[in-house]
Amino acid sequence: MDAALWGVVVGVVLLAAGRAVWLQLRRGRALQELESDPVLSAVLPEEVGGLEGYLLRFFAEAELNWTPIGALGGISSLIAFLYLLAAIVELPDGWFLFLLVFLLGIIGAVLVLRRNRRLNEFRMQLPDVVSLLARSSRAGLEFGEALELCAKMARGRLQGELHHCRNQLSLGRTVSGTMESLARRAQLRELGLLAAVLSVHRQTGGALADALDRLSQLLRDRIQFRRQMLAASSGGRLSAVLIAPAAPLLFAALLLINPEHVEVFFTTGIGRSFLALGVLLNAVGVVWILGLIKMPR
């Protein structure tokens, strides 16, 4: 493999590893400060900010027990294994990069699909949970007891979140604060609506059961609207799926059929620059198309 290209790969991996270690150390200091107060450590497990917070939230939404530094270690191991395999079988540089990008793309797509499926499962359970809260309110149950009842019927991440909210209430946190904390962690508009309804009821009073019933119907209407939007934007998503791999597959075909036509992209400096620019523009185009058809959370 070309020394300059290998240097770029190693440099990127080292920079990412250093960033992950720094984030892990910063998180460790924050956790030590929280552990000094057992109440705060139990009731304030909010998401960490920055890149680490985004990755932690992404893994939690996908229901994966991963950490950013662990994921980085796995990706680094994959890159090292592929490079060793390429060196053993004397694989050309172009094929090594193609296989690396292809595998990383497959892994990313699987994680995104898993996350979206878990979020949809989370969202689909909310109308039933809100309806059960309304019936529990009419029956005279306390909100904590109603949450415990809802946790028994929930599945997946929602069940854990409801148990966590129940623990927060038992430690003395307010209902509105608990639900607002849940809305910030889950990043779903539906939970924000639930937190707003409970907060308004705590301040002004009124028939909570009726308000929750109306909210449950509203959530079902939102789910129906999302389904209609997904059906209407299916053509755009299919276009993105078909267009995104077109250029890489054509490039791979040229590498296989007539490598002399594309070896300039690996043997000259301007060729490498154009190759990097092409990869960047392809990624930007895919992100732009997906952003146009992205459904609000």
Give me 173's structure tokens.
């946190």
Walk me through the domains of the chain, giving residue ranges and CATH numbers.
Answer: 120-231 (1.20.81.30), 233-297 (no CATH)
pTM for the whole thing? 0.64
Phi-psi region of 37 (alpha: psi -120 to 50; beta: other; left: phi over 0): beta
Q: Which of 5-14, 105-114, 230-239 has the lowest mean pLDDT?
A: 5-14
Q: Which of 124-128, 156-160, 236-240, 261-265 has the lowest mean pLDDT?
A: 236-240
Q: Which residue type does 236 have?
A: G
Q: How confident is the model at residue 34 (pLDDT cuts 50, 70, 90)?
A: very low
Percent of the chain with pLDDT over 70: 80
- Which pLDDT tens digit goes with each residue over 204-230? 877 888 989 999 999 999 889 888 888
- Which pLDDT tens digit goes with each residue over 67-91? 878 888 888 887 888 888 878 887 7
SS (H, E, C) 142-154: CHHHHHHHHHHHC
- Which pLDDT tens digit goes with each residue over 264-292? 887 788 888 888 888 888 878 877 876 77
Give the integer Cα–Cα distance in Å for 159 and 182.
Answer: 12
Higher pLDDT, 148 or 94: 148
Query: Above 50 in pLDDT, residue 45?
Result: no
By C-alpha distance, which of 10, 51, 52 is closest to 31? 52
pLDDT score at 156: 78
102 to 94, 160, 250, 252: CA distances (angstroms): 12, 35, 13, 11
pLDDT score at 171: 85
pLDDT score at 22: 56
Q: Is the dihedral of CA 222, 116, 291, 188 positive or negative?
A: positive
pLDDT score at 30: 46
Give me 30's structure tokens.
């924050």
Average model confidence (pLDDT) for the chain?
A: 76
Q: How confident is the model at residue 293 (pLDDT cuts 50, 70, 90)?
A: low
